[in-house]
Amino acid sequence: MTLIKTSFLSLIATIIKLISGLIINKAVAIFIGPSGLAMIGQFQNFIQITLTLAQGAINTGVTKYSAENGKDSSTLPVLVSTATKISVTCSALVGCLVILFADVLSLKIFNSLEFESVFIVFGITVVLYVLNSLLLSFLNGLKEIKAFISINIAQSFYSLIFTTLLVIFFGLKGALFALVTNQSIVFITSLIYLKKKYGISFDVFKSKFDKKVAKKLSNFSLMALVSAVCVPGSHMIIRDFIADELTIEAAGYWQAMWYISSMYLMVITTALGTYYLPRLSEIKSRSELSAELFNGYKIILPIVSSLAFLIYLLKDIIILVLFTPKFEAMRELFAWQLLGDVLKIASWLVAYLLLAKAKTFIYVSTEIIFSISFVCLSFFFVSEYGTVGMTYSYSLNYLFYLIAISLVVRKVFFTGPQNNELLKGHHKK
């Protein structure tokens, strides 16, 4: 599979996921409205945190070591078996806790016991959700691109049909049930597909649990856990604050704006994940590293800026196409949110170097610090300026992050004598 073919197939999968998400979002906007969108956003953040805990936060490590071992390696069955045992154990434990505290979670997230059954179903199906993600991580690492993308496309189509129907007929509760069952059902079809296509046998899961492999996988857990808790966690705190300080509808407007950012930036983040991150990982020369960072800014930043400017010009049309006239109040959020998007990508182009070179301590520290600062800035600006204050805090926080991360990366990678160990990422935490 060449880079061009891989990129082309990835683009198709991304476009299909994008279109599917837009249609689902339109259905939610029509049948549930701004308040429902805010509640769905809150639940999605909860799912993000819960799934990372249920996965044991090892999926990045699974992809890396699958790629290193290769499909014909004698150590691959041990990796598969060990990773599966970790995932099943963690997901079973997390699932039991979700079921046990379903009433508490329903009250905390939705201020109602009406959605207790959603958490119970999520607790029951979370193991299938986790196994599906694990399966995709293995396929990604083994460069089974066609299978990986085929499953992702199938997942997008299934999500589109299933979620839209449940939203239309059952409203908010239908949307929530769709969120907790989509990947679980896709896992079953994925497993059948892979058994027929590649002859995958359950015997591969019977290998012993290897403590050394488990330790290697756990090295990737900290960064994944911090990201999974800090980002959605800060969003949940902020969304609650907006709902309490202003209205639940105001929280829905911000969620809608955040959704627009996520959708168009998906094209950029996919490129960063498939090309930019692996490319930075393999570079050992400081001059080559500098040139690659410059190329990233030269190519990616103009694209993001152009997309952001185009979205700003078309904001009124976008609100009507993606949402409904009920969301008209969100038009004041576009300018500063889109500026924040540009600053976000500008900072990520630098921050990806910390990921590529496994600078765990620096990455984790900055993630925590700027998640806290985002919450604090949001509290201040929302109190002072209302909903639009969220976009002020978003832009300002990423401006601070860009400055800080640029200074850190410059000091670690580009000052002092050439240090190949640093560039290889072998420097100890």
Could you read off the pLDDT tens digit of each residue along the chain, which spans 429 residues?
444 565 566 667 777 877 887 788 788 888 888 888 888 888 988 998 898 888 887 877 777 677 666 666 677 778 888 888 888 999 999 999 999 999 999 998 988 899 999 999 999 999 988 888 888 877 777 767 677 777 778 888 888 888 888 888 888 888 889 888 877 777 877 777 667 665 555 565 666 787 888 887 776 677 778 877 888 889 999 999 999 999 999 999 999 999 899 888 887 777 676 666 666 766 777 888 888 888 888 888 898 999 999 999 999 999 988 888 889 999 999 999 999 999 999 998 888 888 777 677 888 889 899 999 999 999 999 999 999 999 999 999 999 999 999 999 888 887 765 555 455 544 444
199 and 83, same structural domain?
yes
54 and 33, same structural domain?
yes
Rounded to two decimals, the pTM is: 0.76
84 and 141, same structural domain?
yes
141 and 167, same structural domain?
yes
207 and 99, same structural domain?
yes
CB 397 within 8 A of CB 374: yes
Instruction: Look at residues 216, 245, 274 and tell me which one is the last residue of a structural domain.
Output: 216
Asked, for residue 93, whether it belongs to a domain, the answer is yes
Instruction: Look at residues 191, 216, 241 and tell me which one is the last residue of a structural domain.
Output: 216
Please give the residue range of the domain that contains residue 360: 220-424
Asked, for residue 429, whether it belongs to a domain, the answer is no
Asked, for residue 132, whether it belongs to a domain, the answer is yes
Q: What pLDDT score was predicted for residue 273?
A: 65
Q: What pLDDT score was predicted for residue 285?
A: 77
138 and 22, same structural domain?
yes
169 and 123, same structural domain?
yes
Asked, for residue 211, whether it belongs to a domain, the answer is yes
138 and 66, same structural domain?
yes
For 244-271, give the DSSP string: HHS-HHHHHHHHHHHHHHHHHHHHHHHH
Quote the number of domains for the chain.
2
173 and 272, same structural domain?
no
Report how far apart, in Å, the C-alpha atoms of 166 and of each of 62, 79, 173, 187, 240 are. Answer: 34, 38, 8, 20, 26
Asked, for residue 286, whether it belongs to a domain, the answer is yes
130 and 275, same structural domain?
no
Cα–Cα distance between 94 and 115 in angstroms, integer? 18
Instruction: Look at residues 174, 199, 216 and tell me which one is the last residue of a structural domain.
Output: 216
Burial of 281 (0-12, 13-18, 19+ CB in 10 A): middle
Nearest to 189 by CA among 181, 53, 380, 253: 181
Contacts of 304 (CB under 8 A, 6+ apart): 265, 268, 341, 342, 345
272 and 177, same structural domain?
no
Asked, for residue 289, whether it belongs to a domain, the answer is yes
* pLDDT tens digit sequence for 366-379: 989 999 999 999 99
120 and 239, same structural domain?
no
User: Cα-flanking dihedrals φ and ψ of residue 415, to 5°?
Assistant: -120, 155
